[in-house]
Amino acid sequence: YGPYFTHRTGHNLGPEEVHGSAGVCLDDFETHDTRLVLSDVAFSVEPGIYLRGDFGVRLELNAVMGPQGARVYTPVQDDIIVLLK
pLDDT tens-digit readout, 5-62: 877 788 888 777 666 566 777 777 777 888 888 888 888 888 888 888 888 888 889 9
Q: Is residue 48 in a domain?
A: yes
The answer to whether 50 touches 4, Cβ cutoff 8 Å, is yes
Q: Is residue 58 in a domain?
A: yes
Q: Is residue 64 in a domain?
A: yes
Q: Is residue 85 in a domain?
A: no
Q: Is residue 78 in a domain?
A: no
What range does the domain containing 66 cover? 2-72
Backbone angles phi, psi at 58, to 5 degrees: -145, 140
Q: Where are the beta strands (DSSP E) in 33-77?
A: 42-45, 48-51, 55-58, 61-66, 69-72
Question: What total of structural domains would you count in the chain?
Answer: 1
pLDDT at residue 28, rounded to an integer: 75
pLDDT at residue 85, rounded to an integer: 64
